[in-house]
């Protein structure tokens, strides 16, 4: 069946099987490979994208459920060639190692900061508990999201 | 704490040499531009899927693939019978055993590979699996290592001619049994404890997979695959499939975590190759999470009966360990040939005593194969856990503070190099200093006071210590090989005319940051800024041979190779500079990035100027080649011995058994730190592993051999909620025999931390009369221990 989804500001329309998962639609049909797949069961969060502004685990959503929605993936974070503060934060704070969980972790992290510009470290800790990282032990990820909080807000106030 | 050496910085602000710098590889990762195996898509590529056994042990009567073949979009279905015709039904493991690629006679563990479908899409391939009809006769199951030894136990490996038992090997021993028995006979105190290190799984976030492209015209095979050891894999494929080695290119692109899970060769990799040969088109195979958890390299499953002997004052006299090792259905461990129990015999640990002895027996069970994985440093995880747990048991028996007991027995600096009672030679260490740094950081004495006050109020907190010593950087090729391949590593370095360099490694990063660290090593030796040095790895056509990344061996082995190859280039540069400056090479002196005339520092040539001259028309002395490149093979003289002291503080709710890790202090001594930021990141990750294994992670089986840890809903990984903000310290005791004094750190924290967490929990609930409880210390298990009931390691989720 035909499905149309706006991804990172661009309309994409494809004829797909109704059972196609959103993560496979993004990765296989649209060949956008930054969104990863890690577990099938919504536990790991490597596939996290935003659907209409809210983080969703794209391995447990059908592409047809995103019909007409605005989806943002990791590829949509860079604006005019400049890294988003969450991307800067992950780089500066060594918030990634193998990079596999990173896109999903950044999508969740950036959303948390957007929701609450004054979010505390402990709130971030709880907020990312649905995203698993096997490499970093999370401390630097918390630092990275705090970096994004501090720098995203300074941009707004500037 | 050691002051970080001041180094000059480059125009880009990076240290020229060692120091903190952000990682070069992050540029692509934070943009979602990594290139993992599942990101590889080739024109005409097909997708493979594996049908797996629902039974742990069953005879295969027949396999009917006709309905699957009839499904539109299915290109081929391969069974064990088809592979038998090609001589590929069985493949060698890395431990000289054999493993079925696809089962022919019977299945031996739940999740074993039975058939392979090749189809036009992932979805069609999965659909076709449902249409394959396999007729099984279930057989009695051995899911318990102890029962594998029963005289009437079903024989799992009846494929091996004349096999009448389930023994992998009967006895492997280390140390002197008679000397140890004598030490025990003369001891005031002997404590014995059965300690299980249960089966866990490395679970990298990226599962295993491959894309095989066999060019039907040229006969060249290109295999993109999730491997930590591309060169070793290439050789094994050549041996398994009879493919000519020079026509095999193994590419390990970005790898989403390894932790040892991506060292073995799995049937899926071989099947993608077979599929590509059969279909004459590229074939991708990516396993799903359940397949990863149920069929790929697990870790541990060591039953360790551990005894310690001491004087009544707490001077340790000897330690004995009797191990029963569960290797699963095939002996698929990856470790040096001469070490069937890995480096477990380093269990004598960080303490000064003369008598240690271990013996290990290994058995087959109807469980997935593997055993050496999950950042274990070839089973040093098990060894450290055994010694650190039994030392705490002894402290409890003696009613002595576990810190005091350790301080009383730690090796002293003047004893290094130290020959251990089981034959290892520890290179360097200042153990007491490291332990005191950790105790100071955590505020040990204050915590003990707090604990006493809390206990009086019925609140239970615990403080757990682990002091570990690892032997990593395998290894000297005289003693260490895998499938006959010596564990040396090559390194090539080319400095281009403009002074920019490329360094080619045999090892392969899975997140460790090699593209940064190795650039820094070359930078340190040559003075070229790290941003001007490209690290090339993970492609057998473009890198020198070597055994790959596992056992914390990249920095100890390949890091040494990178330093030495750069020194070789520096020596060449000296000759070129001498020719350019019209003086003798001996008249020149080196400073970072430049050769200059002794006593006349203004007269000199930078490495960049030398590089151009080396490629130009400058006349060089007779016999000196132009250009500026070199290659080396580094054969390590011995292992390196990183060590550390970890202290964990937990709060336990005695009503629910819930454990909260309040604090975790880790003081590591890994010798020279090339990029301290990366070192700390490695330690953080390993500490999370330790919390996971101690409290949550478990691959359990029921008595029918059903895997109860087959998804992330059942196999619990630590999240941000279980991990405290790690507190790290350091001491620096360089390795005397490593060119830059580095010891390796990749696995230290995974090796050292589980014992600290468990010791803390037991310390918390000791007032209930608990001396030991096996991992994972889930709330239910802690509660059982408090109630005096045996804990359960047959289920993690309750």
Cα B94 from Cα B482, distance rounded (Å)? 7
Tell me how many degrees the CA angle B519-B744-B438 measures, rounded to the nearest 5.
Answer: 120
Residue B239 pLDDT level (bands cut at 50, 70, 90): confident
Residue at B659 is within a domain:
yes
Q: Across residues B746-773, what is the average pLDDT?
A: 98
Would you say residue B384 has pLDDT above 50? yes
Instruction: Examine the domain organization and report whether A56 and A107 are in the same domain.
Output: no
Region B275-302 average pLDDT: 97
Stronger pLDDT, B19 or B797, i.e. the higher one: B19
Round the average pLDDT of chain B to a whole number and report it.
96
Identity of the residue in A87, A100, A138 whose CB atom sits nearest the CB atom of B720: A138
B6 pLDDT more than 80:
no
Q: What is the pLDDT of residue B797?
A: 59
CATH of residue B89's domain is 3.90.1170.50
| pLDDT recorded at residue B798 | 61
Contact A98 B204 (CB under 8 A): yes
Q: Are residues A112 and A68 in the same domain?
A: no
Range of the domain at A6: 2-76
Chain B CB contacts of A41 below 8 Å? 289, 711-713
Q: Rounded to whole angstroms, how far apart are CA atoms B86 and B101?
A: 12
What is the per-residue pLDDT across B448-466, written as a single tens digit (0 to 9) for each?
999 999 999 999 999 999 9
Residue of B nearest to A16 (CA): B123
Residues B363/B295, Cβ–Cβ less than 8 Å: no
Reference B212, options B221, B220, B203, B204; nearest CA is B221
- The DSSP 8-state label assigned to residue B56 in this structure reads S
Contact A100 B257 (CB under 8 A): yes
What is the model's pLDDT at position A158?
36
Domain match, A62 and A43 both: yes
Summarised one tens digit per residue, pLDDT across range B628-675 is 999 999 999 999 999 999 999 999 999 999 999 999 999 999 999 999
- Are the beta carbons of A138 and B289 separated by less than 8 Å? no
Closest approach of chain B CAs to the CA of A43, in angstroms? 6
Answer yes or no: do B716 and B774 share one domain.
yes
B291 assigned to some structural domain: yes
Report chain A residues whose CB lies below 8 A from the CB of B719: 128-132, 138
CATH code, domain carrying A14: 3.10.20.30
**B62, burial (CB in 10 Å: exposed 0-12, middle 13-18, buried 19+):** exposed
Would you say residue B217 lies in a domain?
A: yes
DSSP H or E stretch at residue B460: strand B460-469
Q: What is the ipTM of this complex?
A: 0.97
Q: Sort residue B143 into left (φ over 0), alpha (ψ -120 to 50) or beta.
A: alpha
Is residue A126 within 8 angstroms of chain B, CB to CB? yes
What average pLDDT does range B468-487 have in this prediction?
A: 95
Of A17, A135, A138, Cβ closest to residue B123 = A17
Give yes or no for residue B23 having a pLDDT over 90.
yes
Nearest CA in chain B to A141: B720
Cα–Cα distance for residue pair B698/B777, rounded to 1 Å: 10
**Given this model, what pLDDT does residue B1 score?**
37
Q: What percent of chain B has pLDDT over 90?
A: 96
Chains A and B form CB pairs within 8 A to the count of: 169
> Using CB atoms, which residue from A40, A43, A97 is nearest to B512?
A97
- B795: pLDDT confidence band, cut at 50, 70 and 90? low
Q: What span, in angstroms and rounded, lies between the C-alpha atoms of B49 and B78? A: 10
CB contact under 8 A, A100 and B38: no
Q: Does B290 share its domain with B316? A: no
Q: Is the pTM of this model over 0.95?
A: yes
Please answer whether residues A59 and A40 qualify as being in contact, where contact means their C-beta atoms are separated by less than 8 angstroms: yes
Give B37-79 pLDDT, tens digit per residue: 999 999 999 999 999 999 999 999 999 999 999 999 999 999 9
B223 contacts B268 by C-beta, under 8 angstroms = no
A136 and A89 in a common domain: yes
Number of domains in chain A: 2
In this prediction, residues B425-444 reach a mean pLDDT of 98
How far, in Å, CA of B727 to CA of B748, rounded? 15
Chain B environment of A28 (Cβ under 8 Å): 122
Q: Which of B634, B651, B676 is the last residue of a domain?
A: B634
Of the three residues A37, A59, A76, the one that is the final residue of a domain is A76
Determine contact: A36 vs chain B, CB below 8 A.
yes
The answer to whether residues B410 and B511 belong to one domain is no
A69 and A105 together in one domain = no
pLDDT at B139: 98
What local confidence, expressed as pLDDT, does residue B779 receive?
Answer: 96
Structural domain count of chain B:
3
**DSSP type of residue A25:** I
Say yes or no: A58 and A95 in one domain.
no
Whether residue B467 sits in one domain with residue B497: no
Residue B538 lies in a domain: yes
Alpha carbon separation from B639 to B488, B735, B752 (Å, rounded): 12, 10, 18
Residues of A in contact with B33 (CB under 8 A): 34
Q: pLDDT at residue B775 above 80?
A: yes
What is the CATH classification number for the domain harbouring A102? 1.10.150.120
User: Closest to B204 (Cβ–Cβ): which among A33, A77, A134?
Assistant: A134
Torsional sign, CA B528, B504, B296, B293: positive
Contact residues, chain B, for A46 at CB < 8 Å? 205
Select from A44, A76, A108 the last residue of a domain: A76
Which residues constitute the domain of residue B235? 37-139+207-255+262-295
Whether residues B753 and B686 share a domain: the answer is yes
Question: Which chain B positions have a beta carbon within 8 Å of A32's beta carbon?
Answer: 32
Do residue A96 and residue A137 come from a single domain? yes
A67 and A97 within one domain = no
Q: Cβ contact (<8 Å) for B255 and A98?
A: yes
B565 and B706 in a single domain? The answer is no
**Boundary of a domain, candidates A76, A98, A125:** A76
Residues A114-157 have pLDDT tens digits of: 999 999 999 999 999 999 999 999 999 999 999 999 999 665 44
Nearest to A100 among B36, B122, B680 (CB): B36
Interchain contact, A91 vs B26, CB within 8 Å: yes
Q: Tell me, rounded to whole angstroms, the distance of Cα B374 from its chain centroid.
A: 5
Range B201-227 average pLDDT: 97
B333, B353: one domain: yes
Q: Is it the case that residue B415 has pLDDT exceeding 90? A: yes
The answer to whether the CB atoms of A98 and B256 lie below 8 A apart is: yes
Q: Are residues A67 and A127 in the same domain?
A: no
Residues of chain A neighbouring B292 (CB-CB closer than 8 A): none
Residues B646 and B626 in one domain: no
| Shared domain check, A108 and A147 | yes
Identify the pLDDT of residue B790. Answer: 78
pLDDT tens figures, B483-539:
999 999 999 999 999 999 999 999 999 999 999 999 999 999 999 999 999 999 999
Q: Are residues B542 and B619 in the same domain?
A: yes
Whether B205 and A138 lie within 8 Å, measured CB to CB: no
Residues A65 and A98 in one domain: no
B153 domain residue, yes or no: no
Q: Which two tokens stand for residue B736?
A: 């005397």
Residues in CB range of A79: below 8 A, 6 or more apart? none
Same-domain status, A91 and A72: no
* B117-158: pLDDT as tens digits: 999 999 999 999 999 999 999 999 999 999 999 999 999 999
Residue B793 has a pLDDT of 74
Contact A97 B22 (CB under 8 A): no
Give me the CATH number covering residue B542.
3.30.365.10
Query: Taking CB atoms and an 8 Å limit, are A137 and B684 in contact across chains?
Result: yes
């Amino acid at each position: 069946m035909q499905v149309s989804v706006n991804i990172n500001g661009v309309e994409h329309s494809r004829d797909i099987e109704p059972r196609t998962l959103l993560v496979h639609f993004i990765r296989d049909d649209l060949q956008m490979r930054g969104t990863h797949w890690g577990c099938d069961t919504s536990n790991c969060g490597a596939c996290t994208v935003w659907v209409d502004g809210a983080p969703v685990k794209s391995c447990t959503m059908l592409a047809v459920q995103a019909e007409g929605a605005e989806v943002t993936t990791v590829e949509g974070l860079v604006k005019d060639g400049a890294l988003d503060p969450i991307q800067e934060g992950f780089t500066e704070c060594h918030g990634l190692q193998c990079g596999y969980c990173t896109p999903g972790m950044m999508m969740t992290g950036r959303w948390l900061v957007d929701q609450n510009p004054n979010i505390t470290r402990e709130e971030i800790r709880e907020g990312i508990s649905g995203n698993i990282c096997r490499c970093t032990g999370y401390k630097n990820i918390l630092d990275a999201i705090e970096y994004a909080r501090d720098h995203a807000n300074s941009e707004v106030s500037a | 704490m050691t002051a970080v050496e001041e180094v000059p910085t480059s125009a880009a602000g990076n240290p020229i040499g060692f120091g903190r710098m952000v990682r070069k590889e992050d540029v692509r990762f934070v943009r979602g531009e990594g290139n993992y195996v599942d990101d590889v898509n080739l024109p005409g590529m097909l997708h493979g899927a594996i049908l797996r056994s629902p039974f742990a042990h069953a005879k295969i009567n027949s396999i009917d693939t006709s309905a699957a073949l009839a499904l539109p979009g299915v290109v081929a279905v391969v069974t064990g019978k088809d592979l038998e015709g090609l001589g590929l039904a069985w493949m060698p493991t890395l431990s000289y055993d054999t493993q079925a690629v696809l089962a022919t006679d019977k299945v031996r563990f739940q999740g074993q590979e039975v058939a392979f479908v090749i189809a036009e899409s992932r979805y069609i391939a999965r659909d076709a699996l449902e249409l394959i009809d396999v007729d099984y006769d279930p057989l009695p199951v051995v899911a318990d290592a102890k029962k594998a030894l029963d005289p009437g136990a079903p024989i799992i490996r009846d494929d091996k001619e004349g096999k009448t038992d389930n023994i992998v090997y009967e006895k492997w021993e280390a140390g002197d049994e008679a000397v140890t028995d004598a030490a025990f006979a003369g001891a005031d105190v002997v404590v014995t404890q059965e300690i299980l290190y249960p089966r866990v799984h490395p679970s990298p976030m990226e599962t295993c997979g491959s894309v095989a492209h066999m060019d039907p015209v040229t006969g060249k095979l290109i295999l993109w695959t999730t491997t930590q050891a591309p060169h070793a894999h290439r050789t094994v494929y050549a041996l398994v499939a009879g493919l000519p080695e020079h026509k095999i290119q193994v590419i390990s692109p970005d790898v989403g975590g390894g932790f040892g899970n991506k060292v073995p060769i799995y049937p899926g990799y071989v099947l993608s190759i077979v599929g590509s040969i059969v279909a004459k088109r590229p074939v991708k195979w990516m396993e799903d999470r359940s397949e990863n958890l149920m069929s790929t390299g697990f870790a541990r499953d060591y039953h360790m009966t551990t005894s310690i002997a001491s004087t009544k004052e707490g001077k340790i006299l000897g330690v004995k360990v009797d191990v029963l090792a569960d290797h699963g259905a095939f002996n698929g461990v990856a470790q040096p040939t001469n070490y069937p129990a890995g480096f477990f015999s380093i269990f004598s640990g960080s303490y000064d005593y003369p008598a240690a002895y271990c013996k290990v027996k290994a058995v087959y069970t109807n469980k997935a194969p593997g055993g050496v994985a999950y950042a274990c440093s070839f089973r040093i995880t098990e060894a450290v856990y055994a010694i650190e747990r039994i030392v705490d048991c002894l402290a409890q028996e003696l009613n002595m503070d576990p810190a005091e007991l350790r301080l009383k027995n730690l090796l002293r600096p003047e004893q290094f190099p130290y020959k251990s009672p089981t034959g290892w030679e520890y290179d360097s260490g200042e153990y007491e200093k490291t332990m005191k740094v950790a105790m100071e950081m955590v505020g040990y004495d204050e915590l003990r006071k707090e604990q006493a006050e809390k206990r009086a109020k019925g609140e239970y907190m615990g403080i757990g210590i682990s002091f570990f010593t690892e032997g990593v950087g395998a290894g000297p090729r005289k003693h260490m090989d895998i499938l006959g391949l010596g564990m040396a590593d090559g390194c090539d370095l080319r400095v281009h005319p403009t002074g920019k360099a490329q360094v080619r490694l045999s090892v392969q990063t899975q997140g460790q940051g090699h593209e940064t660290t190795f650039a820094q090593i070359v930078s340190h030796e040559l003075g070229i800024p790290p941003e001007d040095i490209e690290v090339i790895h993970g492609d057998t056509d473009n890198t020198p041979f070597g055994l790959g990344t596992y056992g914390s061996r990249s920095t100890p082995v390949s890091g040494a190779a990178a330093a030495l190859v750069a020194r070789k280039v520096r020596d060449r540069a000296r000759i070129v500079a001498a020719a350019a400056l019209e003086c003798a090479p001996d008249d020149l002196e080196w400073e970072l990035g430049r050769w200059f005339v002794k006593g006349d520092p203004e007269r000199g040539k930078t490495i960049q100027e030398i590089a151009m001259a080396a490629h130009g028309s400058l006349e060089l002395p007779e016999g000196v080649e132009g250009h500026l490149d070199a290659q080396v093979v580094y054969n390590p003289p011995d292992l390196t011995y990183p060590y550390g002291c970890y202290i964990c503080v937990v709060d336990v709710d005695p009503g629910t058994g819930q454990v909260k890790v309040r604090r975790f202090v880790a003081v590591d001594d890994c010798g020279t730190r090339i990029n301290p930021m990366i070192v700390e990141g490695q330690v953080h990750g390993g500490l999370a592993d330790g919390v996971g294994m101690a409290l949550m992670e478990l691959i359990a089986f029921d008595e029918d051999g059903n895997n109860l840890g087959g998804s992330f809903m059942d196999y619990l990984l630590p999240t941000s909620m279980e991990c405290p903000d790690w507190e790290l310290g350091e001491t620096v005791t360089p390795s005397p025999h490593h060119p830059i004094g580095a010891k390796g750190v990749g696995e230290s924290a995974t090796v050292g931390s589980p014992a600290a967490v468990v010791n803390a929990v037991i310390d918390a609930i000791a007032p209930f009369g608990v001396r030991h409880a096996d991992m994972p210390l889930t709330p239910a298990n802690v509660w059982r221990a408090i109630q005096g009931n045996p804990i359960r390691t047959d289920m993690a989720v309750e």
